């Protein structure tokens, strides 16, 4: 493969964007950061184009994405691009990406923003379905334009979000440091069937089944995949989410999301249809 795109996702928006770009530019491997972050080193020298696609969390990059990128060894001669997938504003995520890539020896050649349906159910409910469809259709066209630029290795000045005063940056970083403990507010209702999807889907490996019930620990990324993808709609966050509508990217399946998490290999035997699942893996790694 000539190119590689690393992605992180909670509701599937960033995976859709990563896959769309990969399909359009061709000859591209799509790799989950949730799994790649466990590796000690990567040889990226063989790739012509290296991309990072991730959601914006609190105007920043998700913690796991920053941690992953900081471990890489990059090279100025490679075309490196980023796509920040946001619900309202790209914030400072692309500036951060640019800074981290420079610290790893590379240059961010182009940074793009993709505005997808917002997903932070802890703070707000999902947009109405009709609005989601309008946004998804509009951004699909934008992804074509972005992919064309990537294919041609076009450099693009990284457009920064709203300038962030130092105090605001500190406030945001403290808020993100609190994400871990926030996981203790997740709980199940009587609808829980003990299927274990939440355990398998968590990219941070933060959920463990105790018998037929999930338990949350404190290494949460707040990606909210557990609550959004629970097949029984049995997970809530404190008293905030009972009446809120769940959101999942319509092009992404539960199998895709389970594959996305590092738990897949440990839990492989529990996947019901392993044959289709293997096909999915091959599909994703094309």
Binding site for ligand FMN (CB under 6 A): 9-14, 55-59, 85-89, 91, 116, 118-120, 222-224, 249
Closest approach, Cβ 114 to ligand FMN, in A, equals 8
Closest approach, Cβ 182 to ligand FMN, in A, equals 9
How many distinct helices (H) and strands (E) make up the chain? 12, 9
Closest approach, Cβ 119 to ligand FMN, in A, equals 3
DSSP secondary structure string, 3-58? EEEEE--SSSHHHHHHHHHHHHH-SEEEEEHHHHTTSS----TT-SEEEEEEE-BT
Closest approach, Cβ 152 to ligand FMN, in A, equals 26
Closest approach, Cβ 44 to ligand FMN, in A, equals 22
Pairing of strands 28-32, 3-7: parallel
> In the structure encoding, which two tokens stand for residue 196, read together?
């274990």
Cβ contact 213:177 at 8 Å: no
Q: Which of 271, 248, 276 has its CA nearest to residue 116?
A: 248
Residue 179: which residues within 8 A CB-CB, separation 6 or more? 63, 220, 221, 222
Pairing of strands 79-86, 108-115: parallel
Closest approach, Cβ 177 to ligand FMN, in A, equals 13
Cβ contact 3:29 at 8 Å: yes
Cα 111 from chain centroid?
A: 16
Rounded-to-integer distance, Cα 207 and Cα 213, Å: 10
Closest approach, Cβ 252 to ligand FMN, in A, equals 8
> In the structure encoding, which two tokens stand for residue 194, read together?
């003990």
Q: Which of 44, 55, 69 has its CA nearest to residue 18?
A: 55
């Amino acid at each position: 493969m000539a190119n590689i795109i690393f992605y992180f996702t909670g509701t599937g928006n960033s995976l859709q964007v990563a896959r769309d770009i990969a399909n359009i530019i061709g000859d591209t491997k799509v790799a989950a950061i949730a799994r790649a972050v466990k590796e000690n080193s990567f040889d990226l020298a063989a790739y012509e184009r290296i991309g990072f696609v991730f959601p914006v969390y609190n105007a920043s990059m998700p913690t796991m994405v920053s941690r992953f990128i900081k471990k890489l060894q990059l090279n100025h001669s490679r075309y490196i691009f980023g796509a920040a997938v946001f619900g309202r504003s790209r914030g400072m995520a692309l500036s951060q990406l640019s800074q981290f890539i420079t610290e790893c020896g590379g240059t961010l050649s182009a940074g793009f923003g993709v505005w997808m349906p917002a997903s932070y159910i802890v703070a707000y409910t999902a947009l109405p379905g009709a609005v989601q469809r309008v946004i998804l259709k509009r951004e699909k066209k934008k992804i074509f334009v972005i992919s064309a630029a990537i294919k041609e290795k076009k450099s693009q000045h990284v457009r920064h979000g709203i300038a962030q005063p130092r105090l605001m940056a500190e406030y945001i970083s403290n808020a993100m440091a609190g994400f871990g403990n926030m996981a203790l507010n997740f709980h199940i209702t009587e609808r829980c069937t003990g299927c274990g999807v939440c355990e398998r889907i968590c990219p941070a490996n933060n959920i463990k089944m105790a018998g037929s019930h999930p338990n949350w620990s404190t290494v949460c990324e707040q990606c909210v995949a557990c609550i959004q993808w629970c097949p029984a709609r049995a997970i809530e966050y404190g008293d905030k989410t009972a009446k809120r509508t769940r959101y999942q990217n319509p092009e992404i399946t539960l199998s895709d999301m389970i594959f996305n998490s590092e738990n897949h290999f440990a839990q492989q035997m529990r996947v019901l249809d392993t044959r289709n699942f293997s096909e999915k893996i091959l599909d994703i790694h094309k």
